[in-house]
Amino acid sequence: MPIFYLFVVILDEPAAAWQAIWRPATLSLLLRSLALAVAVGFTATAVAVPLAWLTGRSDLPWRRGWTVLSVLPLVIPSYIGAYLFVSAFGPRGELQKLLGVDQLPSLYGFVGAWIVLTLFTFPLVLLPVRAAMRRLDPTLEDAARGMGRSQFEVARSVILPQLIPAIGAGALLVSLYALSDFGAVSILRFDSFTQVIYQSYRSSFDRTAAAGLAGVLVLVLFVLLAAERRVRARRSYHRIGPGSARITEDVALGRWRWPAVAFCTVVALLSFVMPVGMLIFWSTQSIAGDIDWSQVTTAAANSVLLAGLTAAVAVVAALPVAWLGARAPGRLSRVVDGLTTSGYALPGIVVALAMVFVGIRLVPALYQSLPMTVIAMVIICLPLAVTSTRSAVLQIPPRLEEAARSSGRSPLAVLATVGIPLTRIGILAGAALVFVAAIKELPIVVLLSPIGFDTLPLVIWQQSSRSFFESGAIPALMLIAVTAPGVWLLVGRQR
């Protein structure tokens, strides 16, 4: 739907759109944004894979706690994370006061955006990787060790290759997030594609230019998708032996125990403990202002309702897409993938305006109603559910389904009795991911929700735009608190 809208707008004034795109500045903008997306994808993987292994497969002390902590950064919206980061490490920030120095190296621009986006998105890689690690068949590792390979060689040659689809899917989500993020890059003053698209709307009211640039972004998306597909291309990741896999065993860390704990501590401190600590500190200050508690609690209920509905619808919608992608990879699935992912990769404002344009013409009765808001949210969040479900589907041996089919069950019955139960964890994880993402969403709610339907991000935005960001601290904490059940679902169900 967003792509259709972009077509309409661009075709309305093709010359102007072409003019907006065909500039040297566009190329450098594109390269910068791509560089950010790829860099964030790599660092998020570099943080997430060791963390996933430590919390998933090792005898790390307090593993349960680290497991939860490692996912919690997802509940912090990037705009809040970026603001907190600047307040802590930026000019005139807390760290500068603490050290009493005049100046710190500037963190605005690429580096700041890179660090912040990595910190608050790496769980998107960690979750699928950890889930995949736990579904691995340990006999493969045993066999490799039996042939005299060292632990390291086993990790490199046996474990890592099996994790590739999960890493690829997670890194793709992170990269696309970095590509479409507006909050963090605007606060950190990094001129990304999204930033410029927003500016076209906000300051020059130029929708043609914005649509042209968004169109380029869609092309970039297809390139990234192709790259990810190449990574996981044409291999099988399911067991072929009879019986079912043994439960994996934990690896003893030995003398690496405490360095591992230190690593986890640093990541947890930067990505969750410090931001939340600062929010708590601010909320105790007078500038937190007088909070209208009934407004905040209503907004919290609305947020949960909206994110819950979005998660439910997204999971159902994701099933066929995921199955198609896993079982029948081909041109059809590639197109479907591209279309469903575009909503996630495009800036929120573009999707919101697309829904305005299409919604009011197609289903005026539903315009600015809750169902339409949910649909728009699903468009934005669908890939989160799809990737999670798909990597689970990939690990089911197709023979199981074939066996069920040959015993005379209908395809639907096979899905209900074999497919869904076996991918249950993947589906639930997808639902939780969608929930966590949807609850943070702002532009869709601003433009499409029923009037008066306040959500927490809306309240945070209103509170902080009027004077101080700090006055949004209490609703921000509330947002983190109500997202926690989603996180619990994400980690609680993983054995």
Residue 214: name the closest of 379, 30, 357, 382 by CA.
30
- Segment near other proteins (CB under 8 A), from 36-44, 50-58, 239-247, 363-371? 363-371
Q: Which residue among 375, 432, 489, 491 contacts other proteins (CB under 8 A)?
A: 375
* Alpha-carbon separation of residue 37 from 101, 306, 313, 401 (angstroms): 33, 29, 28, 38
CB closer to other proteins, 200 vs 271: 200
Could you tell me which stretch among 16-24, 149-157, 411-419, 421-429 binds other proteins (CB under 8 A)? 411-419
Residue in 473, 445, 477 with CA at minimum distance from that of residue 458: 445
* Pair of tokens at residue 341: 């992912």
Please tell me whether residue 368 binds other proteins under the rule CB under 8 A: yes
- Binding of other proteins at residue 466 (CB under 8 A)? yes
Tell me the three state secondary structure of residue 396. coil
Residues 341, 226 contacting (CB under 8 angstroms): no
Kindly report the number of other CB atoms within 10 A of residue 261's CB atom. Answer: 16
Point out which span in 59-67, 231-239, 310-318, 472-480 binds other proteins (CB under 8 A). Answer: 310-318
Asked if 319 and 389 touch (Cβ cutoff 8 Å), the reply is yes
Q: Is 274 in the site for other proteins (CB under 8 A)?
A: no
Sign of CA dihedral 57, 58, 64, 66: negative
Which of 104, 261, 356, 400 binds other proteins (CB under 8 A)? It is 356
Window 133-192: residues binding other proteins (CB under 8 A): 189, 191
Q: Under the criterion CB under 8 A, does residue 462 sit at the interface with other proteins?
A: yes
**Considering only CA atoms, which of 433, 445, 181 is closest in space to residue 303?**
445
The distance of closest approach from Cβ of residue 390 to other proteins in the complex, given in angstroms and rounded to an integer, is 14
Nearer of residues 203 and 294 to other proteins, judged by Cβ: 203
Identify which of residues 123 and 475 has a Cβ nearer to other proteins in the complex: 475
Contact 403, 312 (CB under 8 A): no
In whole angstroms, what is the distance from residue 339 CA to residue 374 CA? 18
Q: State yes or no: residue 421 binds other proteins (CB under 8 A).
A: no
CA 378-172-198 angle, 5° bins: 60
Nearer residue to other proteins within complex by CB, 42 or 461: 461
Dist CA 10 CA 206 (whole Å): 12
Q: Which is nearer to other proteins, 110 or 468 (CB)?
A: 468
Q: For residues 91 and 277, which CB has a smaller minimum distance to other proteins in the complex?
A: 91
Q: How far is the CB of 320 from other proteins (least distance, A)?
A: 4
- Site for other proteins contains 24 (CB under 8 A): no
**Contact between 366 and other proteins per CB under 8 A:** yes
Going by C-alpha positions, the residue among 393, 419, 422 that lies closest to residue 404 is 419
Residues 6+ apart with CB under 8 A from 283: 473, 474, 477
- Minimum separation from the CB atom of position 472 to other proteins (A): 13
Q: How far apart (Å, rounded) are the C-alpha atoms in residues 219 and 233?
A: 21
Q: Single out the segment in contact with other proteins by CB under 8 A; choices: 171-179, 244-252, 309-317, 422-430.
A: 309-317
DSSP labels for 102-128?
A: S------SHHHHHHHHHHHHTHHHHHH
Q: Does 107 bind other proteins (CB under 8 A)?
A: no
Among 14, 61, 241, 320, binds other proteins (CB under 8 A): 320
Using the contact rule CB under 8 A, the part of the chain among 66-74, 148-156, 226-234, 412-420 near other proteins is 412-420
What's the min distance (Å) between Cβ of 313 and other proteins? 5
Q: Does 434 bind other proteins (CB under 8 A)?
A: no
Among 27, 62, 467, 495, binds other proteins (CB under 8 A): 467
Q: Is 247 in the site for other proteins (CB under 8 A)?
A: no
- 14 or 91: whose CB is closer to other proteins? 91
Burial of 94 per CB tally in 10 Å (0-12, 13-18, 19+) = middle
Instruction: Name which position in 369, 422, 425, 485 contacts other proteins (CB under 8 A).
Output: 369
Per CB under 8 A, the list member of 133, 224, 415, 477 interacting with other proteins is 415
**Do residues 158 and 140 lie in contact, with contact meaning Cβ atoms separated by under 8 Å?**
yes
Site for other proteins contains 298 (CB under 8 A): no
Site for other proteins in 32-61 (CB under 8 A): none
Q: Which residues, 202 to 231, sit near other proteins by CB under 8 A?
A: 202-205, 207
User: CA 266, CA 112: separation in Å to the nearest integer?
Assistant: 17
41 by Cβ neighbours in 10 Å (0-12 / 13-18 / 19+) ranks as buried
Cβ atoms of 389 and 426 closer than 8 Å: yes
Q: Cβ neighbours of residue 383 under 8 Å, at least 6 residues apart?
A: 173, 176, 340, 341, 343, 344
Which chain residues interact with other proteins by CB under 8 A? 91, 189, 191, 199-205, 207, 309, 312-313, 316-317, 319-320, 323-324, 327-328, 349, 353, 356-357, 360-361, 364-372, 374-375, 398, 411-412, 414-415, 443, 446-447, 450-452, 458, 462, 465-468
